[in-house]
Structure 1
Amino acid sequence: MGTTSACVFCGIIGGSDEDVVVYRDDVAVGFLDHSPLFVGHVLMVPATHVVTLADLPDDLVGPFYRRVQHVSARLPELLGAQGTFVANNNTVSQSVAHLHVHVVPRSKGDGLRGFFWPRRRYEPGQAVATAAELRRGLADFPHG
């Protein structure tokens, strides 16, 4: 497995954009989506290059999704949301060929309907500040 230099997400795993990383360990890396649905929209990726969910080795499925679960459980509290939307695409609509799970903070009346997902941009400095806040709030994952 490992990482590949042609993959933008492998670049982030390797440290190319550390300011937007909100979670990191030997299993998974979480970082802010550069074009989020809402502030705090996190992409969780395996720490090694895997293209689709079907490619994720069996022994990593549970550990990887426990980290997705942790981020999903914590985002509402950390961002003042009511819940989260969790999803991943495989090949079709997968903009980067590296398995990634979207963890999106949600609240009733937020305007997200069906599959119409208007993307936004962070204001200058907002992504870095949001990532720092989430890093602090997500640091308590029980490793081991």
Structure 2
Amino acid sequence: MSSACLGCQLANGEVQAHVVYENEWITCLLDIAPINEGHVLIMPKRHIVEVEEIDEETMRAVLSAAAQISRGLKACFAPDGISMMQNGGMFNDLGHYHLHVFPRNQGDGFGWVEANAGNAAAKRLAETRLKLINRIN
């Protein structure tokens, strides 16, 4: 845990938060700027910044909690769906790994902007596949 990290403070109960679930590895709390009612952040108690830093045990706890939260959101809010997302690098505004899990409703205004089918990345799928296979394996 990093005492200077707000994410660590939130996950370890040092800062007031609306906690909905926690266990030995993670804390799940309501986002203070929710996309929709019930927007939850799942945060490791250990200081982790990027997804590739997460150990297997913590990752299992994150994904298990995501399933539990999803079931709870469906029971409470009867949404049209559930979205999960994680932002890394310069897009991680907290400086601590967190997974967003939130209910979605048609017309809620949240959207994923899909790239034009003719974009350059779409034209390089085979090349990109090989590049990733060589790095992952």
TM-score > 0.5, shorter chain as reference: yes
Which residue of structure 1 lines up, in the alignment, with residue 111 of structure 2?
A: 113
Aligned residues: 113
Tell me how far apart the structure 2 counterparts of residues 23 and 35 of structure 1 sit (CA, whole Å). 18
Shift of the 13–63 alpha-carbon distance from structure 1 to 2, 3 Å rule, reads: closer
Which residue of structure 2 lines up, in the alignment, with residue 83 of structure 1?
A: 81
Q: Post-superposition shift, 1:64? A: 2.2
2:60 alignment partner, one of 50, 59, 62: 62
Which residue of structure 2 lines up, in the alignment, with residue 93 of structure 1?
A: 91
Q: Post-superposition shift, 1:6? A: 0.9
2:23 alignment partner, one of 25, 49, 53: 25
Check the 8 A contact 2:12/2:27 in 1, yes or no. no
Check the 8 A contact 1:84/1:106 in 2, yes or no. yes
In structure 1, give the amino acid aligned to 2:49: V
Identity of aligned residues (%): 27
In structure 2, give the amino acid aligned to 1:56: I
Any stretches of 5+ residues in structure 2 without a counterpart? 114-137
SS in 1 for 2:74: helix
Check the 8 A contact 1:72/1:86 in 2, yes or no. no
**Which one has a bigger Cα radius of gyration?**
2
Tell me how far apart the structure 1 counterparts of residues 14 and 53 of structure 2 sit (CA, whole Å). 24
RMSD: 1.6
- Structure 1 outlier segments of 4+, above 3 Å: 16-19
Tell me how far apart the structure 2 counterparts of residues 45 and 37 of structure 1 sit (CA, whole Å). 17
Any stretches of 5+ residues in structure 1 without a counterpart? 116-144
Which residue of structure 1 lines up, in the alignment, with residue 11 of structure 2?
A: 13
Tell me how far apart the structure 2 counterparts of residues 19 and 34 of structure 1 sit (CA, whole Å). 9
Shift of the 55–19 alpha-carbon distance from structure 1 to 2, 3 Å rule, reads: closer
